[in-house]
Structure 1
Amino acid sequence: MSNHSRRRVLKAFGAAAAGVSLGAGSATASAADERFLVNLTEVSRSEIPDDVEIIHDLSKADVLVARGDQSTVGSAAATAPDVRIDRSDDGSGAVVEAEGPRASENSASHNHDGPPSNSEYQWDKRVQDLNADLTDKPGGGRSIHDVTTGEGTRIAVVDSGVYDGHPDLEGVVNEDLSTNITGDGYDFRPNGAGNHGTHVAGTIAATNSNDGPGGGVLGTAPDTELVAIRMFSGLQGYAGDGLAAWMYAAEIGCDAINYSVGYTVSDTEEYPVLLELEQIISQVATEVRSQGTVIVNSAGNASLDMDAPNQLSLPTEADGVFGVAATGPIGYGWGGKHSDNEAKWLTGNRLEEPTTEPAFYTNYGSAVDVSAAGGNADLDAIATNPNAYNDLVYSTINTTDDDGTVTSGYGWKAGTSMAAPQVAGAVALVRSLRPDATPDEVEGLIQETATMPEEGERYHGSGHLDLEALVRAAGGNGAGNGGKGKGKGNR
């Protein structure tokens, strides 16, 4: 494996938790203001004082999300502080990002000799032979979308909100089922929380419907239905709201939840209460899975070994959560001899590192179930060559002008946040072919058909997502044998 930018990640992100605080997260907060989680397997609900407010009732999983004085509720094992997640920090969002063109901007749309169309930046889809429109060999064989486009499935995007006014997302998001779980009074669309969720949504289900000169982008499962569940108000969200979103997604019959959210703490001796939080997450995951919903989670962006002593990355390491690490190329469309021939960007020796190269920032270890395209980056090259952003994942975004006008566009992001939706889209493809497959069977198929790059299990789990092999297996006889991700937590 190459050492591209991996040394620099320690300087960029440090070794401690990023973008996370416990409880109310404010020096002026009183005990009565604190948010916390209650494990009803450790304390009876009748023992909870009346002055403790129940924010989310997840009692089907024996869990409550509460506000009040945590010390008044049961023993130490009965509660865990809620985790506040700050998306303004790179550790909880995209590691690297850049805006591309607006949806209405003019650019050529063809495969050879000229400015690339939007879809030509999608190395993550092209390398998987997702659709004949994304290849220089149209008619050269069946693509994934000749077999399935995810029709009849439903995927929840639990994130910062989804801008459904984007031309490649129109008609994709179920407005009636989409919701805001934060209680801030607005709807499911982004509310000061950036375009992270919109980018994720495009990776899963963009339809390539933009009829502008530059065209659009295409998602893994463009005929799946998305449910946008916003858990961030502004740039802050709570783990408890995320768990409530999981329960809601399962109750409305989602085939998968894309949860590109996580938090890493490097010393559980310093924060032992997070082991209680891990147990609570596992209880919710068990209930969600019992209703047939797969939980797909980004493994984290701190370049940390999740098997190191006292290291804990949540929710990835909780039982029942399917963890995805990130990979990406170095050198996609950087320029040079073939810079004007987009059809050759992935061919020959034009990549310094392949698309399966572990991204410099990705967490790794036995909690990884599979790897998928999340984007890579040579940070030195990006500083001098704008084309180096092509190694990131290109998808739908929204921007807000100074006057409040929301504009559709496209942009690059890299992170395990971008790898998880590749797998969530894959779940939609499997469930469209096998609607009765259990979460164990779906995950098992994804893992059994994954291909193993040379870096091995440490970075790739069971292997790298292989949509062609997956769809072939899902369309045949027999079922998967169940994923390895049900018994994690080996630290």
Structure 2
Amino acid sequence: MVAMIFDRRSLLKGIGAAGVATTFSGLASAESGEGPAAGRFLIDLREVDRSDVPDEVEIVHDISEIDLLAARGDPEAVPGVDSTTPDVAVYQDNTGSVPENTGPPVEVDKAPDESGSPAWDEGEAPSNNELQWDKRAQRLGDLSDRPDNRRTIHDTTTGEGARVAVIDSGVSDAHPDLEDVVNEDLSENFTTDEYDFRPNGAGDHGTHVAGTVAATNANGDGVLGTAPDAEVVSLRVFSDVEGATGDVIAAIVAAANRGCDAANLSLGYPVPFVDPEKYPFLLALKEAYERAAAYAREEGTLVVNSAGNDGIDMDGEGILSLPTEAEGVFGVSATGPIGFLWDDKQHREDLALKRLTDPTSSPANYTNYGSAVDVSAAGGDYDPEAIGGGDEWFYDLVFSTIVTPDGDDGVETGYGWKAGTSMAAPQVSGAVALVRSLRPDASVDEVESLLRETASEDEPGGEAYHGAGHLDLRRLVKEAR
């Protein structure tokens, strides 16, 4: 069995971290002089002629397809009052706000509890496949909780011929479940560091996301993605948990230019940077995202974004949550169970999804909500009161591919848990791959309509948390055939 990244004592120590709002210490931009966005700004070519941009201004990304340039230097050197806006920092959408795995590799059947005793008796640990409640609930492949002769999603399609861009911290193609998935030729680093499209110190957020989309379960005891025969294009925009808006905008346009069916974004601007009256640059960023999304849609690419983890009503006064609220972006909120596999015997009886305190479609306690949500999807949940207790609370998070540095310029591959709307968005991006594999000529509007029309309605929390409903792959592929 492949080692899984998890150590309970390290994990519990890690989740004492404060939420996103407190970890976002300042607005990294041209004014702050810190972070990857330092000294950076965007130039609007609808406000200034390209020939009037002075030579001393460095062009980091030419995004002239949507009349934008990402630049570095002195914005005042560019003529025109409205020609520039700060290129501000953007963050991964599960950073610091929800628990995740943080420990060294430990075998699944030897994960210790706080007393040092194994969490499971020898030979009694659930397999990696059994830990994927998100995929089992959707009846993917052989991961159904009802093992009989009924058809599964992958009997109809596995996403062959589809392509998904993961715009994130990079994707490790060293992972056995991803090594045949990542298109190296189309993948690229959009940051200004010296590394390639792989994580290279940027963390395993993007690798976890990519596994949710297209992991192949290569050795039979790994994890299975929604569309395991789809292709992933890794467009890295984070050097750590922080990136620059201009890099993200450039990556969206690149995803469209490279024929991607979906561009998965699991990122955003956390509280307190949601009030456009207090932070007017948000309106300029909104327009930039809308230009990028409109261009992507014209090229056949659906931009999918996580709704955010601040637990806020995006329809509230003084709230603008980006990129989710940008026109043309498909917003995804997060759901998750409470109580999955807390009973050690559940997995043996194939009843794990029937013995839940909260169903898998229950809104996660951290998810943003509001009319910008198009659908909800599995992002994982957790019971704060259970953390540190004897229950296996972490099984309610999403289990996927991860990597950690091995200390010798390489990575150690494994599997672990994360939760967030970051984990929900790739469920939808994988679903787009399934649709496009069945209907390669479907327009973006048609793909969106299928996602909404087949979503499961009347879920806990109602429309505010689920939009058109909860992602339902069985209905989706049936309708798309």
Q: TM-score, structure 2 length as denominator? A: 0.88
Report the Cα offset of residue 344 of structure 1. Answer: 1.3
Contact 2:333 2:367 (8 Å CA) reproduced: yes
Contact 1:20 1:86 (8 Å CA) reproduced: no
Q: 1:198 to 1:27 in 2, by over 3 A?
A: closer
Q: Does 1:205 align with 2:211?
A: no
Q: Which runs of 5+ in 2 are unaligned?
A: 1-14, 111-122
Which consecutive aligned stretches of 4+ in structure 1 deviate over 6 angstroms post-superposition?
14-17, 103-107
The residue number in structure 2 matching 1:98 is 101
- Give distance in 1, aligned partners of 2:129 and 2:46: 50
From 243, 248, 253, the equivalent of 1:237 is 243
SS in 1 for 2:243: strand
The residue number in structure 1 matching 2:312 is 304
Report the Cα offset of residue 50 of structure 1. Answer: 2.7
- Give distance in 2, aligned partners of 1:174 and 1:104: 30
How many positions carry a matched residue from both structures? Answer: 451
The residue number in structure 2 matching 1:219 is 225
Report the Cα offset of residue 115 of structure 1. Answer: 1.3
Contact 2:18 2:97 (8 Å CA) reproduced: no
Q: Tell me which amino acid in the other structure corresponds to 1:312.
A: L
- Give distance in 1, aligned partners of 2:25 and 2:132: 29
From 122, 133, 139, the equivalent of 2:132 is 122
Q: TM-score, structure 1 length as denominator? A: 0.86
The residue number in structure 2 matching 1:434 is 439
- Give distance in 2, aligned partners of 1:290 and 1:255: 11
SS in 1 for 2:202: coil
Q: Does 1:369 align with 2:374?
A: yes
Report the Cα offset of residue 216 of structure 1. Answer: 0.8
- Give distance in 1, aligned partners of 2:449 and 2:144: 29
Q: Which runs of 5+ in 1 are unaligned?
A: 1-8, 108-112, 476-491
Report the Cα offset of residue 104 of structure 1. Answer: 7.8
Q: 1:339 to 1:81 in 2, by over 3 A?
A: same
Write the deviation string for residues 93-119 of structure 1: whole angstroms up to 9, x where unpaired: 672102589598778xxxxx9211001
The residue number in structure 2 matching 1:289 is 297
SS in 2 for 1:278: helix
- Give distance in 1, aligned partners of 2:139 and 2:20: 37
Contact 2:453 2:468 (8 Å CA) reproduced: yes
- Give distance in 2, aligned partners of 1:62 and 1:262: 22
Report the Cα offset of residue 240 of structure 1. Answer: 0.7
- Give distance in 2, aligned partners of 1:405 and 1:60: 37
Report the Cα offset of residue 186 of structure 1. Answer: 1.4
Write the deviation string for residues 310-366 of structure 1: whole angstroms up to 9, x where unpaired: 211111111111110000001101126x3462621112xx21111111101111111
SS in 1 for 2:101: strand
- 1:38-437 paired onto structure 2 within 5 Å: 38-86=43-91, 92=95, 95-98=98-101, 114-131=124-141, 133-210=142-219, 215-264=221-270, 265-335=273-343, 338-339=345-346, 341=348, 343-347=350-354, 350-385=355-390, 387-437=392-442
RMSD of the TM alignment (CA)?
Answer: 2.6
Write the deviation string for residues 70-89 of structure 1: whole angstroms up to 9, x where unpaired: 234344433221122355xx
Write the deviation string for residues 436-465 of structure 1: whole angstroms up to 9, x where unpaired: 111111011101110121322111111110
Q: Tell me which amino acid in the other structure corresponds to 1:173.
A: V
- Give distance in 2, aligned partners of 1:188 and 1:94: 26
SS in 2 for 1:383: coil
Q: 1:408 to 1:20 in 2, by over 3 A?
A: farther
Write the deviation string for residues 380-416 of structure 1: whole angstroms up to 9, x where unpaired: 2022236100000000000113444411100000000
